[in-house]
């Protein structure tokens, strides 16, 4: 029985599934990262994903055009992010509370509209929604193992990796990215140099809205091809956890998101075992908590180690000076 699981994990198909499952974590996590670094953490990633997932499905079903669905999904997510930005940045509402309110509203709102449009409160299976294309990379797809892992994913998966690189360039190599980080770290100093703190944070929140929307669309137009109630299942929050676990850097965030994706994929594999499914479904979430604990313990240990080395070095210097 366990052999089956192990065999499953050490297969190219499993690695491919990790990448596929990580995608809807990587994309919102990048959005979370940008907003976090700007000093206005986007708590509403979850809600934005949900709204975008829903809108993409509905519009693609009614227009029968997948790209119109994607664009509408992104716009709807950005609109939700704009609401959050407006409440927080312009009306002075608490970021956390506004974010939570938006998440709750998104859950209820999507179910309500789903019912209005389809008469079903569970899923959009009666709508003929579209799926984004899958990319088969020429040549690569024919290489054994590598082809299975790298080729045949939907465009969002490739986009997730490309965007990680782009976000990294944006944050560290462009003046705008440096401004964004400056605003997050010391808004007063940034303002004193003529940077518009509010506008930069607005930009960061809208950008995080785009990225979270892509994550949501990935769920309903690629991973599955329908909308289900509460289909984000906490991914928006796990994405935020990935930001911190990844040390607030793009590549760190990517790796953390893939780590969570791995546990998610693992729980799928274990689904075939005679373990109560609730336990199996718990794995990704428990892993998140565990990873965050391990991370903070490790950071502490590193800090103490640094202190010890510093002290030794200093003692050596003092002795040298004394001699």
Partner 1 sequence: MAALVEMDNIVKIYPNGVVANDGVSFSVERGEIHALVGENGAGKTTLMKILYGEERPTSGVIRINGNSVHFHSPQDAIRLGIGMVHQNFMQIPSLTVAENIVLGKEPTRRGLLDRKAAIQITEELSRQYGLKVDPEATIESVNVGMRQRVEILKILYRGAQILILDEPTAVLTPQETTELFKSIRTLVKQGKTVIFITHKLREVKEISDRVTVMRGGRVMGTLLTHEATREGLARMMVGRDVFLEVSKPPQVRGEKVLEVCDLTYVSETGRQVLRGVSFNVYAGEILGVAGVEGNGQTELVEVLTGLRPATGGEARVLGTPILNRTPRAVRLAGVAHIPEDRLTNGLALQATINENLIVDRYFRPPFRRGWFIDNNEVRRHGQQLIEIFDIRTPGGEVPVASLSGGNMQKVILAREFSSQPQLLIAAQPTRGVDVGATEFIREQLVEQRNRGTAVLLVSADLAEVMSLSDRLVVMYEGQITGVFPEAAKATEEEIGYYMLGVKRQSPEEMEAYL
Geometric angle at alpha carbon 146, from 145 and 150, rounded to 5°: 125
Looking at the Cβ atoms of 121 and 314, the one nearer to partner 1 is 314
Of residues 145-174, those binding partner 1 (CB under 8 A) = 169, 173-174
Output the smallest distance, CB 314 to partner 1, in A. Answer: 7
Q: Binding of partner 1 at residue 144 (CB under 8 A)?
A: no
Q: Is residue 322 involved in binding partner 1 (CB under 8 A)?
A: yes
Alpha helix stretches (DSSP H) within the chain: 2-9, 12-38, 45-63, 66-85, 95-118, 146-150, 155-173, 175-185, 187-192, 197-218, 235-245, 250-270, 277-322
- State in angstroms the smallest separation of the CB of 38 from partner 1: 13
Kindly tell me which residue out of 105, 137, 195, 224 binds partner 1, with binding defined by CB under 8 A: 195
For 69, 304, 306, the CA distances from 301, given in Å and listed in that order, are 48, 5, 9
Decide: 31 and 99 in contact? Cβ < 8 Å: no
Binds partner 1 by CB under 8 A, chosen from 186, 282, 293, 294: 186
* Minimum distance of partner 1 from residue 208's CB (angstroms): 20
Q: Does 138 bind partner 1 (CB under 8 A)?
A: no
CA–CA dist 173, 150 (Å, integer):
28
Residue 303 exposed, middle or buried by CB count within 10 Å (0-12, 13-18, 19+): exposed
The single-letter DSSP state of residue 85 is H
Q: Which is nearer to partner 1, 135 or 195 (CB)?
A: 195
Among 159, 167, 190, 211, binds partner 1 (CB under 8 A): 190
Rule CB under 8 A: choose which of 182, 205, 241, 266 binds partner 1.
Answer: 182
316 binds partner 1 (CB under 8 A): no
Q: Does 3 bind partner 1 (CB under 8 A)?
A: no
């Amino acid at each position: 029985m366990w052999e089956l699981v192990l065999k499953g994990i050490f297969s190219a198909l499993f690695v491919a599934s990790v990448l596929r499952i990580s995608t809807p974590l990587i994309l919102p996590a990048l959005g979370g990262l940008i907003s976090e670094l700007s000093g206005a953490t986007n708590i509403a990633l979850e809600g934005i994903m949900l709204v975008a997932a829903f809108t993409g499905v509905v519009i693609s079903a009614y227009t029968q055009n997948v790209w119109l669905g994607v664009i509408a999904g992104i716009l709807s997510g950005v609109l939700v992010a704009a609401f959050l930005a407006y409440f927080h940045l312009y009306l002075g509402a608490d970021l956390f509370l506004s974010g939570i309110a938006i998440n709750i509203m998104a859950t209820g709102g999507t179910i309500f509209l789903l019912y209005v449009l389809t008469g079903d409160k569970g899923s959009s299976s009666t709508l003929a929604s579209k799926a984004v294309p899958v990319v088969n990379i020429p040549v690569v797809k024919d290489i054994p193992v590598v082809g299975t892992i790298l080729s045949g994913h939907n465009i969002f998966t490739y986009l997730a990796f490309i965007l990680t690189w782009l976000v990294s360039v944006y944050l560290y190599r462009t003046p705008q990215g440096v401004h964004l980080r400056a605003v997050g770290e010391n808004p007063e100093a940034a303002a004193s140099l003529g940077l518009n703190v509010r506008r930069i944070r607005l930009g960061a929140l809208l950008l995080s809205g785009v990225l979270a929307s892509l994550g949501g669309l990935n769920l309903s137009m690629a991973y599955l091809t329908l909308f289900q109630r509460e289909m984000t299942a906490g991914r928006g929050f796990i994405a935020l956890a990935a930001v911190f676990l990844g040390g607030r850097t793009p590549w760190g965030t990517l790796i953390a998101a893939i780590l969570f994706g791995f546990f998610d994929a693992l729980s799928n594999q274990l689904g075939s075992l005679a373990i109560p499914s609730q336990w199996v479904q718990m794995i990704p979430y428990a892993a998140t908590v565990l990873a965050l604990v391990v991370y903070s313990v490790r950071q502490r240990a590193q800090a103490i180690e640094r202190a010890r080395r510093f002290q030794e070095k200093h003692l050596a210097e003092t002795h040298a000076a004394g001699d």
